[in-house]
């Protein structure tokens, strides 16, 4: 800001303080040096006798991110004074827009003033509609553009990816390669990598990495961090560690991606070691990486280490513990069976616990079959939100776990009365880029009978080897065999049977599941991994499970 004052003093001394171009220079300097001193920038702007398009663009740009309302009123002022907007003006105003109505008005003004063939303005519109989730409007603009540039493609790919259309984002990326006019840059590739992460498609991910390298793109902090996250979400620990080691520069986000990856893959000790290494490298931990470290402790059952990290949040790292940090501690204590301590911890929290914290404790009480605590916690949750289906399912499982079938039935009835339905479990099996989908209890696949026969026969032979179906995961009080039979249909079991029948030569089977894996399927997978000598990698809602030779990487903490 000192430079700004100096220039202003100089202008006053030399009598140039009323000269429009000098004031504009001062305004530019102010916006560049002190982007947060917006009121000062506005007062400078007010001193320009008749601001032109350039001056308006400068002041609108300064406001478009942090103060969108001001950006709009400045644009309105520009229109009232008949200052013509140019192709820089519209993307700036669009950036400030956050409702569809405003977008429509700007869109029609853009058409009226003849900017519809301006790539820069149209890209602004794609980004605008994309940021609000109106993918179809963005796509229409993209498709109708007679000429486009790399930014148009990147914006459209990012719009599709950010709105959950991962397949379509990758499809458009492919189309961009076929069109062959533009070479993808870092921005394009970050969106593409993110789309692959959401799909969890490892082979495709490896191809994308080789594409990045073939095209001579540098392994920047952003690109490398995106690749680490992608490999972690595709289930390949070796790959993300390799990318991390190859990166010439890293920031806290890079380390966070690495520690998150190690955490969800059950490598708690390594995560803690890497956290120490990061601190030694001179980087200051922020609240997000601390959360990742706590998750790593929780997934690895490292209670003492977790407590130590939690205690240092304020003392050592000068960070105020957030609700999420408290939630992680509840998870850590709860998973390890320290239920009473976890309950006391929640009651003594200086921040009001939210529903997520209580739900974490409910999950832990159910897992450790503590029905009394589960009921107590359920009451607390009910006060906050009466409609969440997960709590009903958990509570009914808790009753089932200790054989309280009447109570369990009551919970189920009240669920039905409130029309709360359980989300069906589904699993995705990815083989050679083709994704096969399985839904729990679904018999519609052409191979259904073959898969079921196969399941019956392997469950039979696994029983001989000591596998005992864990029936507490089933939802009704029915005969043991029937419970076991209906467990046989959980989507990950269907997926694994399908893989064993159809892909006999595969050493590794990768499955993605939308819900948390149940105790029985977890136990089943362990047996399968030993009997068939396969590595089974399952990504469930919370984390990864690597099953090899009869055990799982999560060491049964999940
Ligand atoms: Zn299951
Ligand atoms: Zn596991």
Tokens standing for residue 383: 């006060």
Q: What does each C-alpha distance from 498 to 357, 485, 491, 503, 557 come to in angstroms?
A: 37, 17, 10, 8, 27
Of the pLDDT bands very low, low, confident and very high (cuts 50, 70, 90), residue 139 is very high
Ligand at minimal distance from the CA of 515 is 1
Ligand at minimal distance from the CA of 518 is 1
Kindly give the distance from the C-alpha atom of residue 359 to the centroid of ligand 1, in angstroms, as a whole number: 20
Ligand at minimal distance from the CA of 540 is 2
pLDDT over 70, % of the chain? 89
pLDDT above 70 for 43: yes
Cα(558)–Cα(546) distance, integer angstroms = 12
pLDDT above 60 for 487: no
pLDDT of residue 502: 87
Kindly give the distance from the C-alpha atom of residue 403 to the centroid of ligand 1, in angstroms, as a whole number: 19
Ligand at minimal distance from the CA of 266 is 2
Instruction: Provide the residue ranges of all domains of the chain, joining segments of one domain with +.
Output: 429-552
Kindly give the distance from the C-alpha atom of residue 558 to the centroid of ligand 2, in angstroms, as a whole number: 7
User: Of 116-120, 344-348, 489-493, 544-548, which gets the smallest average pLDDT?
Assistant: 489-493
Better pLDDT: 251 or 407 = 251
**pLDDT single digits (tens) 261-304:** 999 999 999 999 999 999 999 999 999 999 999 999 998 889 99
Kindly give the distance from the C-alpha atom of residue 36 to the centroid of ligand 1, in angstroms, as a whole number: 53
Long-range contacts formed by 366-372: CB under 8 A, 24+ apart = 366/394, 366/395, 366/397, 366/398, 366/401, 367/334, 367/335, 368/334, 368/337, 368/339, 369/398, 369/401, 369/402, 370/339, 370/398, 371/398, 371/399, 371/401, 371/402, 371/404
Ligand at minimal distance from the CA of 519 is 1
pLDDT of residue 88: 94
Kindly give the distance from the C-alpha atom of residue 208 to the centroid of ligand 2, in angstroms, as a whole number: 29
Q: Of the candidates 335, 341, 385, which has an alpha carbon nearest to the alpha carbon of residue 365?
A: 335
Ligand at minimal distance from the CA of 301 is 2
Ligand at minimal distance from the CA of 548 is 2
Kindly give the distance from the C-alpha atom of residue 69 to the centroid of ligand 2, in angstroms, as a whole number: 50
- For residues 41-57, give the mean pLDDT: 88
**pLDDT single digits (tens) 178-209:** 998 899 999 999 999 999 998 888 999 999 99
Kindly give the distance from the C-alpha atom of residue 522 to the centroid of ligand 1, in angstroms, as a whole number: 7
Ligand at minimal distance from the CA of 265 is 2
Ligand at minimal distance from the CA of 520 is 1
Kindly give the distance from the C-alpha atom of residue 517 to the centroid of ligand 2, in angstroms, as a whole number: 8
pLDDT of residue 477: 40
Kindly give the distance from the C-alpha atom of residue 92 to the centroid of ligand 2, in angstroms, as a whole number: 49
Of the pLDDT bands very low, low, confident and very high (cuts 50, 70, 90), residue 398 is low
């Amino acid at each position: 800001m000192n430079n700004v004052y100096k220039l202003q003093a100089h202008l006053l001394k030399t009598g140039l303080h009323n000269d429009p171009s000098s004031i504009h220079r001062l305004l530019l300097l102010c916006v560049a040096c002190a982007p947060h001193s917006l009121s000062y920038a506005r007062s400078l702007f007010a001193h320009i006798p008749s601001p032109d398009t350039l001056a308006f663009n400068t002041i609108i740009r300064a406001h478009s991110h942090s103060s969108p309302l001001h950006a709009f009123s400045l644009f309105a002022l520009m229109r009232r004074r008949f200052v013509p907007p140019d192709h820089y003006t519209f993307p700036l105003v669009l950036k400030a827009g956050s409702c569809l109505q405003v977008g429509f008005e700007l869109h029609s003004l853009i058409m009226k003033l003849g900017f519809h063939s301006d790539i820069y303005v149209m890209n602004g519109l794609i980004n605008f509609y994309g940021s609000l989730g109106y993918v179809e409007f963005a796509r229409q603009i993209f498709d109708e553009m007679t000429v486009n540039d790399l930014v148009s493609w990147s914006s459209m790919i990012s719009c599709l990816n950010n709105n959950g259309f991962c397949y379509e984002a990758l499809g458009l990326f492919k189309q961009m390669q076929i069109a062959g006019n533009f070479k993808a840059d870092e921005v394009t590739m970050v969106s593409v990598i993110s789309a692959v992460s959401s799909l969890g498609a490892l082979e495709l991910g490896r191809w994308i990495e080789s594409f990045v390298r073939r095209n001579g793109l540098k392994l920047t902090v952003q690109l490398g961090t995106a690749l680490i996250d992608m490999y972690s979400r595709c289930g390949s620990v070796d790959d993300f560690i390799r990318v991390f080691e190859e990166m010439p520069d890293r920031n806290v986000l890079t380390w966070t991606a690495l520690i998150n990856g190690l955490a969800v893959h059950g490598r708690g000790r390594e995560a803690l070691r890497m956290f120490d290494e990061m601190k030694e490298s001179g980087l200051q931990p922020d609240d997000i990486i601390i959360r990742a470290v706590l998750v790593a402790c929780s997934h690895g059952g490292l209670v003492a280490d977790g407590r130590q990290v939690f205690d240092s949040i304020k003392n050592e790292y000068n960070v105020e513990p957030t609700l999420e940090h408290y939630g992680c501690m509840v998870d850590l204590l709860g998973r390890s069976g320290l239920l009473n301590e976890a309950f006391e911890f929640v009651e003594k929290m200086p921040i009001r616990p939210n529903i997520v914290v209580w739900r974490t404790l409910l999950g832990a009480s159910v897992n450790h079959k503590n029905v009394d605590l589960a009921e107590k916690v359920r009451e607390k949750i009910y006060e906050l939100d009466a409609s969440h289906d997960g709590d009903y399912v958990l509570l009914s499982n808790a009753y089932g776990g200790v054989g309280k079938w009447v109570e369990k039935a009551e919970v189920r009835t009240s669920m039905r009365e409130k029309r709360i339905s359980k989300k069906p479990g589904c699993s995705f099996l990815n083989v050679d880029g083709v994704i096969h989908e399985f839904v729990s209890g679904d018999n519609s696949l052409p191979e259904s009978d073959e898969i079921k026969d196969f399941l019956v026969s392997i469950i039979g032979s696994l029983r001989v080897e000591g596998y005992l179906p864990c029936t507490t995961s089933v939802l009704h009080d029915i005969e043991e065999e029937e419970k076991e039979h209906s467990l046989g249909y959980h989507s990950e079991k269907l997926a694994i049977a399908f893989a064993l029948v159809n892909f006999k030569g595969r050493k590794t089977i990768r499955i993605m599941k939308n819900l948390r894996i149940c105790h029985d399927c977890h136990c089943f997978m362990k047996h399968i991994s030993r009997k068939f000598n396969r590595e089974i990698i399952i990504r469930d809602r919370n984390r990864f499970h690597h099953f090899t030779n009869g055990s799982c990487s999560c060491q049964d903490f999940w």
